[in-house]
Amino acid sequence: MGLALAIHGGAGTIVRSKMTPELEREYRGGLEAGLVAGWDVLTQGGSSLEAVEAAVVSLEDFPLFNAGRGSVFTHEGRQEMDAAIMDGRNLKAGAVAFVRNIRNPIKLARLVMERSEHVLLAGDGANQFADALDVPTEPDEYFFTEHRWLQLQDAIAAGRVQLDHAAVRPVGTVGAVAFDRNGYLAAATSTGGMTNKKFGRVGDTPLVGAGTYADGTCAVSCTGHGEYFMLGVTAYDVAARMNYRRLRLEDAAEETVARLTEIGGDGGLIAVDTDGNVALPFNCEGMYRGWFTEGGQPHIEIYS
Amino acid sequence: MGLALAIHGGAGTIVRSKMTPELEREYRGGLEAGLVAGWDVLTQGGSSLEAVEAAVVSLEDFPLFNAGRGSVFTHEGRQEMDAAIMDGRNLKAGAVAFVRNIRNPIKLARLVMERSEHVLLAGDGANQFADALDVPTEPDEYFFTEHRWLQLQDAIAAGRVQLDHAAVRPVGTVGAVAFDRNGYLAAATSTGGMTNKKFGRVGDTPLVGAGTYADGTCAVSCTGHGEYFMLGVTAYDVAARMNYRRLRLEDAAEETVARLTEIGGDGGLIAVDTDGNVALPFNCEGMYRGWFTEGGQPHIEIYS
């Protein structure tokens, strides 16, 4: 039973042939920074909750991932972000959906958990909650990246809602799961959603049990085509298979992803249990991911 | 294996001493109308999906229940409604969160399922989707009821967010679950949320797996203190206990409510399986409920 941390930076159609060595180095650097940020917290005796928050803040700040800075654009040309955090120690959670101009949506999610009676706040109301607590904001320019803007123009031209799985910039949701010295688990997930999304669509990221879950058994963060993770109740399904079928983490996570495949969903998940095991299964060409377990080496991978 | 239908009109602190015979008759009438509306669909060969929609439409239209007409007021004096519907036949679902002026939010949820690529639409975006499909709306006055307005003034005076479980008007979320002639299950839930709620709070009702769930095993609709149903992933937990622990519907539903009690949540749920069994457990003084199974009699109950 040792410390454990896993992170992801999205999954989907990561086409190896479209990846340049320079770009791959950049992505690996972004993942490594997130892994180090979370691992430092754990080794300095911090909680799993603090570790997943630190890792996700780092991934949100990195402009190539679709979360925080560098989020994709909605149909109206806005950047709306979703995030959730869950503390397995006491089964508490906080989440926000389509907030705007919040520098680190994952920090706002934690404030919802700690400073409100609610689990999920959405839209203008969530921004009002952030204002009331003086949560740091940034102007639109901070979140803007040219490649996301071009993605929106492409998607509008093609007339489709697009998951953030473009071949050239194969990026998506970010997330982290951790197990700490005191034996507690936590999970965090953050995303800019879908390019060209309309009508106030909410995906799986901010929903407890769908994209994010942690209890006394395991912690899970998902990435992929959100609607299928919602219908499959994917994050909680891993815990249910462990608790009710007495499966090991790795087997439970594999079965959950197999079910996701069965119902037509693309993507993957990262998970950790109270023995410090990690699992990172996915059913697509690649998933940006990293993990670190006590006594082991840090790992960064992109393809399967 | 016969047809089965169960409905609820909310659970919570239903104080028998505050109930008058006239009021009880009114509530029973509202439940009976919902039960008949759904049962007629099933006996005429309609699908479970059509049956739960018809039952919930009837309950939304009845002004004493907190859904559709008669919804509670937010802090700003608005009526914002949530609803979800799920078809166990194909694991599809549609949901809306804090929509305004939609006559029957459950019908809009069904349109999200059938006419969009998404599962959950929220806020102004969901209303725009409704406009695009010419979904029937009503002016504010249609939804207004005096007792809800007085509840808001009381809650503001008392400085608290209030679940819709006031002693004098003990009403709440509405929902229905059904099993049809072709062997398929469906679930639907609709609510006006919490009196005096702020900050764009989203509860369990529109969340697949939390307040509403249906697959090939069972269909579940929940009512109670939503945040705990979200953290417990309550609706899906019933299906998980049946699938992974091989429990009967009644035992799975009882265990799920026992876990809800353990984590501090008040409320209940209604559930039906593919043998036409129904379960209606709750952990509070009462739950407005009704059920009808083939060859049996219709039942309407309020207290335990």
Q: What is the pLDDT of residues B128-140, one digit of tens each?
A: 999 999 999 999 8
Note the pLDDT of residue A304: 84
* B230 touching A (Cβ < 8 Å): yes
C-beta atoms of A126 and B231 within 8 A: no
Is residue A111 within 8 angstroms of chain B, CB to CB? no
A80-94, B138-152, B161-175: segment of lowest average pLDDT: B161-175
Would an 8 Å CB–CB cutoff place A92 in contact with chain B? Answer: yes
Q: Do B202 and A121 touch (CB under 8 A)?
A: yes
User: What are the chain A neighbours of B117 within 8 Å (beta carbons)?
Assistant: 161, 227
Using a pLDDT cut of 90, give the percent of chain A over it.
74
Interchain contact B87–A (C-beta under 8 A): no
Please give the residue that has the higher pLDDT: either A45 or B194.
A45
CB spacing of B202 vs A97 below 8 angstroms: yes
Q: How many CB atoms lie within 10 A of CB A152?
A: 18
In this prediction, residue A170 carries a pLDDT of 36
Question: How far is the C-alpha of A12 from the C-alpha of A174, rounded, in Å?
Answer: 13
CATH class of the domain at A4-290? alpha beta
pLDDT band at A244 (very low <50, low <70, confident <90, very high): very high
Give CA–CA dist A24/B182, Å, rounded: 52
**Per-residue pLDDT at B125 exceeds 90:** yes
* Residue A261 appears among annotated catalytic residues: no
Q: Which residues neighbour A208 within 8 Å (Cβ) at sequence distance 6 or greater?
A: A84, A86, A93, A95, A119, A120, A235, A236, B210, B230, B231, B233
pLDDT confidence bin for B166, thresholds 50/70/90: very low
Beta-sheet pairing, B278-279 with B267-273: antiparallel
| Cα within 13 Å of Cα(A159), Cβ side | 0
% of chain A with per-residue pLDDT over 70:
94
CA distance A189 to chain B (A): 16
Q: Per-residue pLDDT for B88 more than 90?
A: yes
Candidates B231, B243, B266: best to mutate against A (most CBs of A within 10 A) is B231
Measured between alpha carbons, how far is A150 from A155 in angstroms, rounded to an integer?
A: 9
Label residue A78 by pLDDT band (50, 70, 90): confident
Cβ–Cβ gap B128/A199 under 8 Å = yes
The rounded distance, in Å, linking the Cα atoms of A275 and A2 is 7
> What is the mean pLDDT of the segment spanning B18-45?
94
Task: Indicate whether A226 pLDDT > 70.
Answer: yes
pLDDT of residue A155: 78
Predicted confidence at residue B170, as pLDDT, reads: 36
Check whether B164 has a pLDDT greater than 70: no
* Calpha distance B167→A187 (Å, rounded): 38
Cα separation of B195 and A273, whole Å? 39
Q: Residue B260: closest CA among chain A residues belongs to which residue?
A: A91
Cβ distance of A202 and B230 shorter than 8 Å: no
**Residues of chain A found within 8 Å of residue B237, distances taken between Cβ atoms:** 236, 240
Nearest CB to A129 within list B199, B207, B241: B199
Q: Which of A64, A67, A95, A93 is nearest to A80 (CA)?
A: A67
- The string over B194-223, giving b where at least 16 C-beta atoms fall within 10 Å of a residue's C-beta and e elsewhere, is bbbbbbbbbbbbbbbbbbbbbbbbbbbbbb
- Residue in A114, A120, A245, A260 to test binding to B, most B beta-carbons within 10 Å: A120
Which is more confident, A277 or B199? A277
- Sequence length of chain B is 304
Average pLDDT, chain B: 91
Which residue from A91, A230, A232 is facing B263, i.e. has the nearest CB? A91
Contact A196, A78 (CB under 8 A): no
Q: What is the pLDDT of residue A209?
A: 98
Each residue's pLDDT tens digit, A157-213: 877 665 544 433 334 799 999 999 999 999 999 998 777 777 889 999 999 999 999
User: What ipTM was assigned to the predicted interfaces of this complex?
Assistant: 0.94
The mean per-residue pLDDT over the stretch B28-53 comes to: 98
Tokens standing for residue B15:
């104080």
Mean pLDDT, chain A, integer: 91
pLDDT tens, residue by residue, A3-35? 999 999 998 656 677 788 998 999 999 999 999
Phi, psi of A281 (to 5 degrees): -75, 150
A126 in reach of chain B (CB within 8 A): yes
* Angstrom distances, CA of residue A7 to CA of A4, A28, A144, A188: 10, 12, 24, 9
The verdict on a CB contact (< 8 Å) between B227 and A117 is yes
Q: Which long-range contacts (CB under 8 A, 24 or more apart) does A237-240 make?
A: A237/B236, A237/B240, A238/A213, A238/A269, A238/A271, A239/A213, A239/A215, A240/B236, A240/B237, A240/B240, A240/B244
Residues of B serving a catalytic function are 173
pLDDT at B158: 77
CA separation for the pair B108, B134 (Å, rounded): 10
The CA distance from B67 to B73, in Å, is 11
Q: Does A228 touch chain B (CB under 8 A)?
A: no
Residue B5 binned pLDDT confidence (cut-offs 50, 70, 90):
very high
